[in-house]
């Protein structure tokens, strides 16, 4: 058993399909993972910038940081449905790089902000662009991969969000140590500049190599036979029209409301990691200042990466998800209970996070 088979599953039986799948992994999966990585790199850099001088530089106080994250998620929520429609009718090779380039440019703009209002405005527009990633990427993965190939690749895709957060912590610490004060800019400003440049490079990479969908691809690295195989190896489902009856069926059923509520509730605990609460807690309690507050928070992200990969492997092995869901539910229950009590030793708080 090789590392590739563990991460991506067994290879197809025919040589032609194995060769095609390798190209799909190389050009489709790699780009989408890099986009998601850049997405979370940008998202995580806000929390590290906040505890590394941005708070004082632009006059953030009280609940301003919470409001900045709220504004971001409002924009993210608003943008997802329009992007879900856009990706089905506009060339993904253009749309995804355009959105990535947009949030990269805006990330560079964050290095120039002077007031909380400017932070809110830029983060809102960034969220509108970044909201193209999650739903759009899964739609594109489903366009190229068989159902049997999707599980581990979706887990790998999700891991790159945590890898982005992990890299952000190292990057912020390194930048604070080596670039803080260079050319008249603070470390947190350099973080946004470098983050933006990375996103722009990835966007340019996607503009060159991303192949759209199997039905519309003109990729130079796919032969006519491979393009035909990419189209025929998946079971094509006819595109359904969005009728009044279909809308009633979706919103009238219990699944939509139950799973939406479940996602909202579980996201509250996930926010302890994604909103940078640990770094803020370490700083405000005087446990660690920059750059150590960036490094200490990385342990949580490392655990998230391992658990995401493990969940993907477990669901593929067992063929169902209920055991993993039960384990995650119990883990969240323990974490919430410890944080609710709060009056516990320092190590227990870190364990809960």
CB 48 within 8 A of CB 219: no
Q: 241-254: b or e for each residue (b if 16 or more CB lie within 10 Å)?
A: eeeeeeeeeeeeee
CB 170 within 8 A of CB 292: no
Burial of 44 (0-12, 13-18, 19+ CB in 10 A): buried
Q: 291-306: b or e for each residue (b if 16 or more CB lie within 10 Å)?
A: bebbbbbbebbeebbe
Residue 321 counted as domain residue? no
* pTM greater than the 0.85 cutoff: no
Three-state DSSP at 63 gives coil
Residue 339 counted as domain residue? no
So what's the pLDDT on residue 71? 95
User: How many structural domains is the chain composed of?
Assistant: 1
Q: CA-CA distance, 338 to 270, in Å (whole number)?
A: 15
Domain residue limits at 182: 15-232
Give the number of other Cβ atoms within 10 Å of residue 27's Cβ. 21
Residue 105 counted as domain residue? yes
Residue 60 counted as domain residue? yes
Q: Domain holding 140: CATH number?
A: 1.20.1250.20
Residue 263 counted as domain residue? no
Residue 208 counted as domain residue? yes
Residue 322 counted as domain residue? no
Q: Report the chain's C-alpha Rg in angstroms.
A: 21
Residue 119 counted as domain residue? yes
* pLDDT tens, N- to C-terminus, the chain (353 residues): 566 666 666 777 788 999 999 999 999 999 999 999 888 888 878 887 888 889 999 999 988 988 998 999 899 999 988 998 888 888 999 999 999 999 999 999 999 999 999 999 999 999 999 999 988 998 999 999 988 788 778 888 888 877 777 777 777 778 878 888 899 999 889 989 999 999 999 999 999 999 999 999 999 999 999 999 999 988 766 666 778 888 888 788 888 888 888 777 777 666 655 556 777 777 777 777 666 766 777 777 778 778 877 877 777 677 677 788 788 888 888 888 888 888 888 888 888 87
């Amino acid at each position: 058993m090789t590392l590739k088979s563990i991460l991506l599953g067994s290879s197809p039986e025919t040589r032609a399909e194995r060769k095609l799948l390798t190209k799909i992994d190389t050009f489709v999966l790699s780009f989408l993972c890099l986009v998601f990585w850049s997405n979370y790199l940008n998202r995580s850099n806000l929390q590290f910038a906040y505890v590394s001088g941005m708070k004082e530089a632009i006059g953030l106080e009280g609940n301003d940081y919470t409001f900045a994250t709220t504004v971001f998620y409002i924009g993210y929520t608003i943008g997802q449905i329009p992007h879900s429609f856009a990706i089905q009718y506009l060339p993904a090779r253009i749309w995804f790089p355009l959105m990535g380039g947009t949030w990269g440019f805006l990330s560079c703009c964050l290095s120039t902000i002077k007031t909380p209002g400017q932070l809110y405005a830029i983060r809102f527009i960034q969220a509108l662009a970044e909201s193209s990633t999650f739903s759009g990427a899964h739609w594109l993965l489903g366009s190229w991969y068989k159902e049997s190939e999707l599980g581990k690749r979706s887990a790998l895709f999700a891991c790159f969000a945590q890898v982005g957060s992990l890299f952000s912590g190292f990057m912020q610490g390194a930048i604070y140590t080596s670039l803080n004060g260079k050319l008249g800019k603070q470390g947190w400003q350099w973080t946004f500049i470098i983050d933006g440049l990375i996103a722009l490079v990835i966007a340019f990479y996607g503009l060159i190599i991303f192949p759209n969908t199997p039905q519309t691809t003109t990729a130079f690295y796919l032969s006519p036979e491979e393009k035909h195989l990419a189209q025929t190896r998946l079971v094509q489902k006819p595109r359904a029209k969005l009728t009044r009856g279909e809308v009633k069926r979706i919103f009238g059923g219990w699944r939509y409301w139950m799973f939406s509520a479940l996602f909202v509730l579980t996201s509250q605990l996930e926010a302890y990691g994604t909103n940078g609460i640990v770094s803020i807690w370490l700083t405000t309690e005087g446990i660690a200042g920059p750059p150590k507050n960036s490094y200490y928070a990385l342990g949580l992200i490392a655990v998230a990466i391992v658990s995401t990969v493990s969940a993907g492997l477990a669901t593929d092995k067992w063929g169902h998800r209920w055991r993993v869901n039960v384990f995650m539910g119990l883990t969240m229950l323990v974490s919430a209970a410890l944080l609710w009590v709060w009056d516990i030793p320092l190590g227990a708080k870190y364990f809960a996070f």
